[in-house]
Amino acid sequence: MSYTPYGRPGTLTNHVPLYHNLEIILCKPQTEKQLSPAAYFVLHFQPTQSSNASFGLTPAIMSSPALTAGKHTAILNGLTIHYTILAETPDLPPILMHPPPWGIGSDLYIPTFARFASKYTVIIPSARGNDDSERPASPAEMSTRHIVSDLEALREHLGLDRFPAVIGHSAGGVVALGYAIAHPVRVERLILLNSDLLGYKRKDASFFQDVLGYLAADPPTTDAAFRATMLKILPLYFAHPERGGPEALAKLWTRDPSLWAQVAYYSADSASPPGEAAPGDGNAKWKQVDELGNVTAATLVLTGRQDRTTGPEVSERIAAGVKGSKLVLVDECGHFSWGERPDVVWVAVDEFLAEKV
């Protein structure tokens, strides 16, 4: 077992040979006193000290108006899909960040991942049925497979032969992982932040039981009511909600989520009869858990040790199945990992993007 500096001075990285094909990194807090609440969702706007480091990404970009900074639309699989490009200068290496497609939208993720715009062309799509992107004719067409198909159509629209890096958070990680499974030659690097995994049965489903309790007490029937319910639930996503993380995140999340997308997305992926699905039961139409060996991209899997939503057991299973992957488990950290531990999360992501593959 070796200890090497990771992140800021004083942070230790513990490398443990957990699986034959996996490097696991256990990130400990620098001190018992964490960053101030105001810093949680502010630091992600700031470039790291290594911002002038050379890229590890292989160029895969062609000059295209579709890759200029700003808001764009494209017809993908017959639907009008919106996407945002963040880039401070032209012709930077492209990376794609996919938000969760259950209706949360992209407005939370655009300012968060703007920190990469000085070094990369950041592509952030709004999935079908999310934000202003068009809904499919049937809720059954909100499945992860359909959204992965949209992502492949977006790649073709952008004129890229592959994505040098694909990033996904939470259910957005399911999409990113699904894309790397279905189109392995199109992904050079895969970064899964607090990702879920279709087909994996949770050992601990207590988080979902708590959430269902909130929903049963006052079932939302409108997008505004859904937002109000989610704001009540938000502290459950944090290791230390008392430090101000939920309030800081709520300020960035300016748009009502889509209740339609939430119901449609999770129903479309479930293999259970209507009304019988249980969150975390692993009964999914797409058993990603059985196809992890298809991923050929260099892969970083990161989650918080105190993430009750998509915690260590999920990330450990992903990393165990993806050959050569790197697993980072972050102490004192919940589901919005970059908010509670930006000192560890952004350093891990920056270093992974800079590595040669």
Residue 64: pLDDT band with limits 50, 70, 90: confident
Q: What DSSP character marks residue 234?
A: G
Note whether 82 and 73 are within 8 A (CB).
yes
Percent of the chain scoring above 90 in pLDDT = 74
Name the domain count of the chain.
1
Cα-based angle 307, 125, 334 (whole degrees, multiple of 5): 10
Backbone angles phi, psi at 39, to 5 degrees: -85, -20
Tell whether the model's pLDDT for residue 8 goes beyond 60: no
State the chain's mean pLDDT as an integer.
86
Tell whether the model's pLDDT for residue 120 goes beyond 80: yes
Mean pLDDT of 294-310: 98
Tell whether the model's pLDDT for residue 355 goes beyond 90: yes
Tell whether the model's pLDDT for residue 63 goes beyond 70: no
CATH of the domain at 200: 3.40.50.1820
Containing structural domain, residue 202? 2-354
Q: Which of 199, 149, 198 is nearest to 173 (CA)?
A: 198
Please state the pTM of the whole predicted model: 0.86
Q: Which of 126, 112, 270 is nearest to 198 (CA)?
A: 270
Residue 65: pLDDT band with limits 50, 70, 90: confident
At 256-274, the pLDDT tens digits run: 999 999 999 999 999 988 7
Question: How far apart (Å, rounded) are the C-alpha atoms in residues 58 and 155?
Answer: 16
